[in-house]
Structure 1
Amino acid sequence: MPRTLAQMRLGLFIQAAGHHASGWRYPGAQSGSENVELIVQLARQAEQAKFDLVFFGDKLVTSAGEHPSMVVRLEPLVLLGALAMVTERIGLAATASTTYSEPYTLARQFGSLDMLSKGRAAWNVVTTGYDSAANFSRATHPDHASRYAVAEEFVEVVRGLWDSFEDDAYVRDAHTGVYLDPAKMHRLDHAGAAFNVAGPLNLTRPPQGHPVLIQAGSSGPGMALAARIAEVVFTAQQSLADAQAFYRAIKAQAVAHGRAAEHCLVMPGLMPIIGATRSEAQARFDRLQQYNDLGAALGLVSERLGVDVSGFDLDQPLPPLPLPQNMLSRAQLLLELSHRDGLTLRQVAHLTAGARGHKIVVGTPAQVAEEMIAWFEGEAADGFNLMPAYVPEGLSLFTEGVLPILRRHGLFRDEYSGSTLREHLGLPRPANRHTVSR
């Protein structure tokens, strides 16, 4: 697929205890999911560096054995509403579930966030791999295929609701007394397999038309959904070859759905471990890994695979295991690393604690930049979702060391040229379906 982007896209995936499971233990690290001051600091730092967006994941269940950044966390849409007031240009993205939400509610929430931020909202569409039924008065957690079927309908309903009002529906003519042109307000009247939603949405059309849609599933159904609806695809690949294969596949599927390849941006997760020298960077990574609690790391692997691995041989590759219904793509990634690349369970556990299957690059700023450029120019990525191992230093080392190199190569912006997230990403503003139909 020929490259059309001249510059990388960059997101900052914020986890307030760092992305490495032991990042909070690193000397000088700050942490705390309730530490709003730290979160604001990171968002502003990313904006000063001209990142495209900041991103917050979410999870609807918890336990004491979770990754430290995930045991407790602020509700992401509420948090982004606050960040909209203390930032000006950077995009604001959050995860929200199509399995444990209602389309009307999410359409209002993300539409409102787009209003508050003047066009900077993005929704990471997830089907929720973790069984969360007990927290939502559900008897069972839906299987993988059912979740994705519901997700497709859910997104279509939300898009329809965002089009409830045409852009010029509000006349607001004090002289004539006409506030709203009722002919430009539209009911949805959706009746589907999973949802019945009348509409219209009680919200003016968002500034971006539709907030940007992100999707993070890399399984077959996840890629199929992304190809249809995603404008940004978050993914996890370890090797350049695997990333290139994913990139080609998702772009081809998007084109097959009548979409432009450059309107489906692929942004793998990336954890850079940076030092003034390669040995300093390696020492920093080794220190992080030494902090790992092997029992906790094995718990994370068990969670990903849906199988208790605590009794398996630590110094042998994982045995053949069936893929679980939940967290399918991440489970597949860990099994491939063990079976194809020969990683032992101990190595898989440390890798999972380190970046949960995402790419880790250990080196100098120049070496990290070189790897990013190789993936970008090799058509393996349109950009990256940065995952600092610990904060705030992990982010500072990147913005102060790597970004200047990318800029010298002309691969990242010096200043924002637009004000909305769509403008940052080079994405068109969707036309209102009712305007187009006339």
Structure 2
Amino acid sequence: MSNTSGSWHSAFFVYTRPRVAAMIFLGFSAGLPFSLISTTLSAWLADEHVDLSVIGYFSLVGVAYSVKVLWAPVVDRLPLPLLDSWLGRRRSWMLSAQLGIAVGLWAISGADVVGHLADVALLAVLVAFCSATQDIAIDAYRIEAAAVRFQGAMAAMYVFGYRLSLLAAGAGVFYIAEFASWRLAYQVMAASMLLGIITTLLVKEPSHKQAAEERQLEASLESALGIADLSSPLKRLTGWLSDAVLSPFVEFFQRNGRTGLLILLLIAVYKMSDIAMGVMANPFYLELGFSKKDIADVSKIFGFFMTILGTSLGGVLVMKFGIMRPLLLGAVIVAATNLLFAALAVVEPDTRLLAGVISADNLSGGIASAAFIAYLSSLTNTAYTATQYALFSSLMTLPAKLIGSISGEVVAQFGYHAFFVYSAVIGLPGVVLVLVLMRLPTASPDK
């Protein structure tokens, strides 16, 4: 890949590609239901004076996003009747999930949130399941629709659309509810799913053919399990499960060998510094004496635009330099910006300083996210895209969330200054692992 300054124009030009631009609308469709069945729905229930303990239980519907890897093999391999022959594997699952989300949101808008809470909960679970399924299908589509060098840009446009949807499902819904009603707000959001539906119908189905090597691998696994003849329904079911569930994991390690363990370790620790710091960010701002309005204005306005700028820049850097160098840059600057928060903890509170630190944090986070999503995308085999990427995305967040859960204990024991230094230090393993993998030709997608 060219690294000359003359290629910068073509690197930025990537955002004019139709498939890259389409990710804005698919990202919007992916992000819209997330808030509508979590924080925004909680606000509606609270406004209707539903008991707070009951509202708390509604957060459990979000578990669907954490366990989507369990049914990703189905999305990967199971053709939907009629729709598959019309739209193809990825678009048929995307469309079905989008229709399910739209219907679910419309049904919630007409439900009695006080008298029939159980119905609202079931509808929220339906929307969450369809939303997680849509995420699986869109991730697979994004990876298969463009070459590796475009994945940073695809991720940037996806994040842009996702962030816009969070504004619509958050502030947008609150405005409509204030001047009209919650029911109308949810009806408008249900209708907004048309953006994703129309995009799904317009984009072209990507190619995701299974190579001979994967067919041979699946045959070998079936033979090892003693089900090669597939002579009975039970053996056929076991064979399907072997092909859909076991083969993606075996293929990954067959392709990467022992290096696969280092790759999985990098996936587990790369976002750890960022997520651990984020848990305590808002309590830290309040501790410094900033008002809720100051926090909202700075984090929402600066946070939104700097994240979009960061992901866009990350996409260009991936296009220009490949994946590994932007991935290394992202790991370094995310850890480094945590030290800015440590400095903020020992100086006089100042809104301009807060804006600068939050801007740097969101810019670095955006660059890291674009590069990391591109890296994860490069690790998948197109025969098992949905399953492998769902595994990577789950592994990406689970250890970081576990580390983040003890953030309050660290602050209570040592204070905010020490905590932010600690959150920077736990980013160092990610830096080291990227450097190690860059030296291994089989582990670096740039080589």
Shorter-chain TM-score tier: under 0.3
**Structure 1 length as normaliser, TM-score?**
0.24
Q: Which has the higher helix share?
A: 2
Q: Which has the higher strand share?
A: 1
**Structure 2 length as normaliser, TM-score?**
0.24
